[in-house]
Amino acid sequence: MTYALIFDCDGVLVDSEPLSIAELGDTLRAAGAVITNDEMFARMIGRSVASIVDIVRQEQGVDATPLLPDYRRRLAQRFQQELYPIPGIAHALLELQSLPKAVASSSTPARIAQSLELTGLAGFFGTRVYSAVQVQNGKPAPDLFLLAARELAVPPENCIVIEDSGAGVRAAKAAGMYCIGLLGGSHAQASGLAQKLPQSGADAIAQRADQLPALVRERISAPLAK
């Protein structure tokens, strides 16, 4: 029986969430929104930039869309200087190298590619990198994870998702997949992930990335558990 791994990118592979929240928060406030970075950590982790802009537009009547090109430029510059892999994730990927794997991220294809290249993780995934722009509905809908499963040619029930957000966990569970919540990013405490990931339905929790191989092996050895 074949199993496959599907990784979120931001906060799972790369420690990008604090950078992204800081720059997007500045952008939303420049457009006239009243929102703090703490509120964004609490509510917006795991969602695409487009969906966050939509939420702010609906709630506050503020449209930050014209400012997004400048946001993306600033964030790309910060990534060049400040982006690092999640501690322990490269070693975990090496331990899990025998399993097919993919990335399924709410970020744009360009941002995912930049993140993986800058942190030296691109080679683990090859072309199996999927973005929310490729599906009709982003996380917390299951569309993106189901796309990854189809491309991997592995049934959803045999896919193991590694996520760091409530929206991502809900998307994985809606897709019928097993989900491990990862608390290894520097944003985990600010986002309250230790509480949110189990509440969202995570089947297991990894405090650190180096715990992922054991949790994956545990799932594979007990396929009927959930």
For residue range 122-134, list pLDDT tens digits in order. Answer: 999 999 999 999 9
* Domain tally, the chain: 2
Rg over alpha carbons for the chain, rounded to the nearest Å, is: 17
Domain final residue pick, 28, 50, 82: 82
Share of the chain above pLDDT 90, in %: 88
Q: Is the Cβ–Cβ distance between 177 and 163 less than 8 Å?
A: no
pTM above 0.75, yes or no: yes
Query: For residue 141, which phi and psi values (nearest 5 degrees)?
Result: -70, 155
Domain final residue pick, 62, 82, 102: 82
Q: Which residues contact 59 (CB under 8 A, 6 or more apart)?
A: none
Q: How confident is the model at residue 80 (pLDDT cuts 50, 70, 90)?
A: very high
Q: Is the pLDDT of residue 155 over 90?
A: yes
Any domain includes 214: yes
**61 and 105 co-located in one domain:** no
State residue 101's pLDDT score. 98
Range of the domain at 32: 17-82
Looking up tokens 């975990």 gives: 92
**91 and 173 co-located in one domain:** yes
Tokens of 10: 């931001």
Any domain includes 226: no
**Residue 13 CB neighbour total at 10 angstroms:** 29
